Structure 1
Amino acid sequence: MSEARAQSFRFNTGAATTHAILIVGALIVLLPFYTMISLSLKAPHEIMQQTGGFIGAQEAFRDDYCVKLGNAAENCMVNPIIYNYSTAFEKAPLVRYLLNGLIVTVSIFVIQVLVALPCAYALAKLRFWGREAVFALVLFCLLIPVHAIALPLYIMLAKAGLTNTYAALIIPWTISVFGIFLMRQFFMTVPDDLIDAARMDGMTEFAIIWRVMLPTAIPALMAFGIFSVVAHWNDYFWPRIVITGNRDLFTPPLGLREFKGDADGDNFGPMMATACIIVTPLIVCFLLAQRRFIEGITLSGMK
């Protein structure tokens, strides 16, 4: 009995090394979030002096801008947390920016799904000449970085008069080759007997896509949705190019530009508070869809 117990508690060097690497990696990933949250809770002088620990002393400090407006100094004492988060909403129309981000990301995802599902179904379940060549082209397009085609896209949109519009933020990303690839990999796991049975019932190919394949593809769609929403919600590069003269169309990342740190660093706290507000919806969505996300990645073979 003692020998069996000793074997069960035998130290596994490989497993310990793997867990150590994973822990270090997790700490590296979490460190920016720790810093972001910490700075959003501190007073300006604590941020500049790098004091106060994680949440700071939480002592009221004088808001110099309030004093400049002619208010008495004793009436301009504010709590660091209240100051940072209230300034995040007061200095910029943050609610408007969040709404813009919601409109853009949801529109892109819905159109991507409308395009990706039929394409993925055709590549996975239909037999036609040149199918493998088309799939190879999809794989090739995965290798093209966004920055390589940014200038041609911008010129096309500028000539069409679509810059500084929602269309400029949405149209270039309505076809997702990654979405086509991911859904195709998932559809390959769907039994052909299910599709043959639907055809015998008189369903058309489009009816099969939306009434048979779509319900089975929910886990893969959830996984793709996380990738798509995170990518376009956090995108700074493309909105910075096509949105130049209309502040009302700023997306959440562009809204951070309203809090560019001055020489004295007074805007660092509100900037980090804004970053926390922007990141929170993504974290909530991922936590709600975590199980489906993992299922979608596993079933589609994206390990």
Structure 2
Amino acid sequence: MNQELGPIASILRHVVLLFGALIMLSPFIVMIVTSLKPQSEILSADFTLWPKTWYAVENYRAALTSTPLLLYMLNGVIVTVAIFVLQVLVALPAAYALAKLRFRFRGLMFGAVLLCLLIPMHATAIPVYVLLFKLGLLNTYASLILPFAISVFGIFLMRQFFLTVPDDIIDAARIDGMSEFGIVWRVMLPTAVPAVIAFGIFSVVAHWNDYFWPLIAVGDRNLFTPPLGIAYFKLDEAGTNYGPLMAAATIAITPLVIGFLLAQRRFIEGITFTGMKS
């Protein structure tokens, strides 16, 4: 009986997963299809998924020429890459210390990391804004990057992964005369590539899509990130012209989709092994 139910249960699981995937992807499908339609067809009472008249060239040309979308995307690349690099530079040594070094109050410090995970960005936005104002850093790239240079989630994720690394490897590196910082960058980092990539996906997606903080920190349109630029594109240019607006949104999310597809295997490995402890 169990053998007979095996294929049926497998088919049911796949049907449920496909249905769930369809629900998750449906907004993106509608967005892409809308970017291919003329305005009259978008607002038509008779909804059709596939465009009757292709209007892709006009919509995407309007998205790229009516607003400096490529500049916004370049700003997004600069900000997200800089944030990720700084987060890795801080998270790897901190996680190594919490996972492999023995010192007083180590458990208390790790508890502080866990506590910081519970504090949302919105709770500290005003003090951070005032600090940046006092330093004269508002309306600069620094105001978009520095508040996120330390990621407690990154420290937690790296620490959990480092717990899976055998202590024998670290002891052998110490016997060879390697310093603790040398162990971090020459021993631990190569082993933690899947975890770093997994954290990179979380970090890049979060800060590429961040609308709240750029709206507060910058007013110069030359510093707008993609979400903020698209919002102002809707207010100033697109209005209810949903074709170019959806084309701009499609262009903005394309780098994230490509990046995730390229790093998918490493991302899954990083998430899988982070929770394991040898």
Provide TM-score, normalisation by structure 2.
Answer: 0.93
Counterpart of 2:187 in structure 1 is 212
Please tell me whether residue 189 in structure 1 is matched to residue 164 in structure 2: yes
Distance 1:9 1:287, change over 3 A: same
Please tell me whether residue 222 in structure 1 is matched to residue 200 in structure 2: no
- Structure 2 stretches lacking a partner, 5+ long: none
Counterpart of 2:4 in structure 1 is 9
Counterpart of 1:105 in structure 2 is 80
> Once the two structures are aligned, what percentage of the paired residues are identical?
61
**Structure 1, residues 172-196: CA drift from partner, whole Å, max 9, x if none?**
0000000000000000000000000
Secondary structure of 1:286's partner?
helix
Secondary structure of 1:9's partner?
helix
Please tell me whether residue 136 in structure 1 is matched to residue 131 in structure 2: no
Stretch of structure 1 that moved more, 24-33 or 158-167: 24-33
1:21: how far off? 4.4
Partners of 1:231 and 1:254 lie apart in 2 by 14
1:28: how far off? 2.1
Counterpart of 1:55 in structure 2 is 50
1:39: how far off? 0.9
**Structure 1, residues 106-154: CA drift from partner, whole Å, max 9, x if none?**
0000000000000000000000000000000000000111111111111
Secondary structure of 1:235's partner?
coil
1:267: how far off? 2.1
Provide TM-score, normalisation by structure 1.
Answer: 0.86
- Structure 1 stretches lacking a partner, 5+ long: 1-5, 60-79
Q: Contact 1:259/1:270 (CA < 8 Å) preserved in 2? A: no
Please tell me whether residue 34 in structure 1 is matched to residue 15 in structure 2: no
Secondary structure of 1:164's partner?
coil
**Greater Rg over alpha carbons, structure:** 1
Aligned residue type for 1:31: S
Counterpart of 2:123 in structure 1 is 148
Aligned residue type for 1:110: V
Secondary structure of 1:189's partner?
coil
**Structure 1, residues 48-73: CA drift from partner, whole Å, max 9, x if none?**
115462232226xxxxxxxxxxxxxx
Counterpart of 1:157 in structure 2 is 132
Count of residue correspondences: 275
Please tell me whether residue 295 in structure 1 is matched to residue 269 in structure 2: yes
Q: Contact 1:195/1:208 (CA < 8 Å) preserved in 2? A: yes
Partners of 1:280 and 1:20 lie apart in 2 by 27
Stretch of structure 1 that moved more, 91-100 or 17-26: 17-26
Partners of 1:7 and 1:190 lie apart in 2 by 39
Partners of 2:69 and 2:162 lie apart in 1 by 40
1:17: how far off? 6.2
**Structure 1, residues 9-65: CA drift from partner, whole Å, max 9, x if none?**
326887666555433432221111011011101001111115462232226xxxxxx
Q: Contact 1:259/1:268 (CA < 8 Å) preserved in 2? A: no
Q: Contact 1:48/1:265 (CA < 8 Å) preserved in 2? A: no
**Structure 1, residues 80-114: CA drift from partner, whole Å, max 9, x if none?**
11111000011111111110000000000000000
Structure with higher RCO (Cα < 8 A, 6+ apart): 2
